[in-house]
Structures are given as C-alpha cells and as structure tokens.
C-alpha cells in the first residue's frame, strides 16, 4: 500500500467520459394505467413535478428545467445516493465509474452484468437481453493516476479480488481526493473512478445499447437488430 502511494502521480483531466447504465430505449409511461386520457397523464406529470422536492440545482438557475435534474440524477447522481461494493469501494461510500471509450464501458458492464447479476440469480442461458444508455459526462479534476503502477502491482487490475483496490479507494475517499484513473481489468482501456460529484457536469445521452447473452458470450447492438460486435466468454468469465 505504501509503495503504491510513494510513486503516485496526478492526471489533470478536462474531458468527456463515457458512462454506461441500464436504461430503456423507449421510456415507459408511468401514468398510463391510471387513465386512458392523455390529458390525465399530463396532469399527473405536472403534479409530480410541482410536489417533488428538488435534488439538483442548475448552474444557471434562471433557466432551471426539470429535465436537467433528471439527466444529472441518471448519469451522475445515482451512485452517490445508492452506495454499493465495487472495485474501489467497500460499500461505505459511493463511486461513479466512467471510461475513455464506449468499448471499455461495454467490456466492463458486460462482465458485471453477466457474472455479478445473472449468474448470482441463476440465469446463465442464451437469449437474456438488457437495454442500456451511454452518456457523455464532463470531468474536470486532478485525479490520482494509477496507470503507470499497474505493471508493478498487478492486484490493481485483478479481475475478481478487490482487496487492494478497495483499500486504495478507501484511503482516497478519507483524504478527500476527487477520484482516480486506472487501467481496465477487462480490456485495453482506461477506467475513471470518481468520488466527488462536484467534478462531474454536463451529462447528455450519446447512444443506446442492447446486450444479449449467447452460447459463446454476449452480442452487443447499437441500432436495434444490428450487431455492433460480440464479446466472447473468455472476456467475461
């Protein structure tokens, strides 16, 4: 642990990162079971907006709009409200994960979806589908850069053992660092683990994806019905 921090460097990041989350391609109407009248749906939506407490304050409050809050909550806010165990967190604080490319987000999220969710639930056969949305999110921060240390500390990219990485993340969180950048444990790409929502901004949708399990891995579609590429089982297990 001390050896890792003795050789630490900073990465001055001012760029867009890709954030890959579960999301439907077609938004479900939450009020269509209350009435068959479209005007009633709109009334229910307006009532929700008027009574729902604000959780997001626009950087330009004069032009504050509800969709700004929704976009921020979906692309940025969720992991800082709903803490969970992950590569750099023991579950006692939230970490937001982004990547330098869409492909990196695909390899990372397929691994966790296939191994940590489907397998735990006993669903391992072909034909299981999930829809996702990729967002672009601006990051402006001086992040701890672990990339040059990976060759000497292979546990930093261990695919299943998070003991060391959770210790690293815990120390950075306690000391108030905004986050870190490291090498993906799934593919040739970079992963950003951000611990402070204040360094993230300007979320906007980039594209939709669909994952489908197969006998040999997972197929990835960007446009519905058009195969983008397949991730073989060797990269998932």
User: What was the pLDDT predicted at 61?
Assistant: 47
Assign 29 to helix, strand or coil: coil
Predicted confidence (pLDDT) per residue in 190-207, tens digit: 999 999 999 999 999 999
Query: What residues have CB less than 8 Å from 129, skipping those under 6 apart?
Result: 210, 211, 212, 213
Q: Tokens 């008027």 belong to which residue? A: 50
Mean pLDDT of the chain: 87
Position 23 pLDDT exceeds 60 = yes
Position 103 pLDDT exceeds 80 = yes
Cα gap 227→229, rounded to integer Å: 6
Cα gap 208→202, rounded to integer Å: 18
pTM over 0.75: yes
Domain boundaries, the chain: 2-235
């Amino acid at each position: 642990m001390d050896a890792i921090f003795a050789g630490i460097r900073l990465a001055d990041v001012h760029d867009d990162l890709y954030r890959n989350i579960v999301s439907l391609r077609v938004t479900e109407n939450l009020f269509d079971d209350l009435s068959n009248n479209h005007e009633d749906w709109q009334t229910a939506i307006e009532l929700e907006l008027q009574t729902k407490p604000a959780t997001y304050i626009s950087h330009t409050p004069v032009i504050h709009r509800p969709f700004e809050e929704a976009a921020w909550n979906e692309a940025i806010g969720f992991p800082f409200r709903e803490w969970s165990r992950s590569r750099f967190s023991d579950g006692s604080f939230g970490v937001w994960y982004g990547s330098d490319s869409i492909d990196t987000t695909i390899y990372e999220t397929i691994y966790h979806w296939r191994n940590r969710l489907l397998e735990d639930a006993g669903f391992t056969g072909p034909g299981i589908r999930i829809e996702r949305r990729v967002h672009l999110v601006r990051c402006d921060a001086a992040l701890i850069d672990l990339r040059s240390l990976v060759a000497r500390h292979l546990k930093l990219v261990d695919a299943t053992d998070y003991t060391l990485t959770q210790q690293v993340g815990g120390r950075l969180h306690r000391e108030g660092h905004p986050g870190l950048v490291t090498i993906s444990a799934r593919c040739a790409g970079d992963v950003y683990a951000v611990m402070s929502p204040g360094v993230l901004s300007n979320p906007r949708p980039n594209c939709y994806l669909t994952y489908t399990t197969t006998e040999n891995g997972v197929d990835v579609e960007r446009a519905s019905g058009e195969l983008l590429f397949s991730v073989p089982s060797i990269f998932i297990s």
